[in-house]
Amino acid sequence: MALLRNSSRTRRRDTSGNRIWVWFMLPGTLWMAGFLVASLLLVAVLAVGTTDELGNPRFGFDLSAVRALADPAYTEVLARSLGYALLTCLICLLIAYPVAYTIALYGGRYKHALIAAIVVPFFANYLVRMYGWSVVLSDDGPLLRALRAIGLADGGTKILNSSFGVIAGLVYGFVVFMIIPLYAALERLDVSLIEAGRDLYGGPVRTFFFVTLPATRQGAAAGLVLVFLPAMGDFVSAQLMGGPDQIMIGNLIQDKFFQGQNWPLGSALTMLLMLVLLIGMLGYLRRTRKDEAEALR
């Protein structure tokens, strides 16, 4: 058996004569290395750089920008961004799960069309969508008017310029990234598994918690990461839906590069953002590794 497996694996290799494929790979790799890797390294380098009198960046080794991150003004923004992003993840999960579940299990022959009806507009112009959403959430917008009409809101209720508004924006912006992996996981889920669950556990609620949820845990984990990454780096939602008290780390970065012209500080903030995201990614990878190891056992 070892011989067989070995031969069939290596067999493909020897006619392909690696050399030609290296040539295929080279332009793209060089491009990515030149533009992407180099540029990210540059951000790291500039984070420990300085500025001259005119505010132009200078290379060097100066930790003032990095030290500045400890300023409570910045840590507060970071904490707020984290809080917003995590809440966004949670709300997206709560919304996406029933929607994905309904489409995957009850969509019948329309399920592909339904999921396309969600995905297609979501990939269309983010900015215009967010702008439309801010109009919907505005004080005179259709949502608040409807809520006022049924008595769920009064004249003083506002959504915009609040944390709630920013989170609503983030959710609207990125909920699709939760729906896609959840839908994929639920569609893969064998319906007979749920039926077997009904037999074993009885009620649909118990079945859901003992059968459906564990089987889609990986989809949910992927969705959480996919939502967390862009939510953490977003600056549009806070700009359109929030006020001065709702700024996120993305707004700070934007400000340091465009208005404040403090590039080392902007770079340091960017690195800080990457660090947070990296920790999130590593957590996710460890989690899935563990899941895989358990599945193998």
Closest CA to 231 of 243, 246, 248: 248
* Cα separation, 280 vs 269, whole angstroms: 17
136 near another protein, judged by CB under 8 A? yes
Site string for another protein, 91-110 (x = CB under 8 A): ----x--xx-xxx--x----
205 interacts with another protein by CB under 8 A: no
Residue numbers 237-266 binding another protein by CB under 8 A: 239-240, 250, 253-254, 257, 263, 266
Which residue pairs, CB below 8 angstroms and at least 24 apart, start in 278-286?
A: 280/225, 280/228, 280/229, 280/232, 281/225, 281/229, 284/221, 284/222, 284/224, 284/225
**Which CB atom, from 58 or from 297, has the smaller least distance to another protein?**
58
CA distance 10 to 205: 50
For another protein, which is the closer residue by CB, 131 or 209?
131
Distance, CA of 13 to CA of 27 (rounded, Å): 22
- 36 near another protein, rule: CB under 8 A: yes
Strands 50-51 and 57-58: antiparallel
CA 221 to CA 93: how far, in whole Å? 10
Least gap, CB of 20 to another protein (angstroms): 5
Q: Is 22 in the site for another protein (CB under 8 A)?
A: yes
Q: Is 295 in the site for another protein (CB under 8 A)?
A: no
Q: Which of 230, 227, 224 is nearest to 283 (CA)?
A: 224
If the CB atoms of residues 4 and 297 are measured against another protein, the closer one turns out to be: 4
Minimal CA–CA distance to 144: which of 122, 173, 117, 164? 164
- The smaller minimum CB distance to another protein, of residues 79 and 116, is found at 116
Taking CB under 8 A as the binding criterion, the range among 66-74, 152-160, 236-244, 287-295 that sits at the site for another protein is 236-244
Question: For residues 103 and 221, which CB has a smaller minimum distance to another protein in the complex?
Answer: 103
**Residue 160 beta carbon to another protein: minimum distance, rounded to whole angstroms:** 13
Among 55, 60, 132, 214, binds another protein (CB under 8 A): 132
Residue 37 found at the interface with another protein (CB under 8 A): yes
Q: Which of residues 166-195 bind another protein (CB under 8 A)?
A: 172, 180-181, 184, 194-195
CA distance 172 to 231: 11
Residue 297 CB, shortest distance to another protein, in Å, is: 25
Residues touching another protein, count (CB under 8 A): 101
SS3 158: coil
Instruction: Determine if 124 is a binding residue for another protein (CB under 8 A).
Output: yes
Euclidean distance between CA atoms 241 and 246, whole angstroms: 9
Pinpoint the alpha helices (H) of the chain.
2-16, 19-31, 38-47, 64-68, 72-106, 111-123, 126-137, 142-149, 163-174, 176-188, 191-201, 204-207, 213-215, 217-233, 236-241, 249-258, 263-296
Based on the shown chain and the rule CB under 8 A, indicate whether residue 54 belongs to the binding site for another protein: no
From the list 73-81, 120-128, 208-216, 286-294, the region that binds another protein by CB under 8 A is: 120-128
Figure out which of the listed residues 54, 73, 127, 205 binds another protein, where binding follows CB under 8 A: 127
Per CB under 8 A, 74 contacts another protein: no
142 to 161: interface string for another protein, x by CB under 8 A: xx------------------
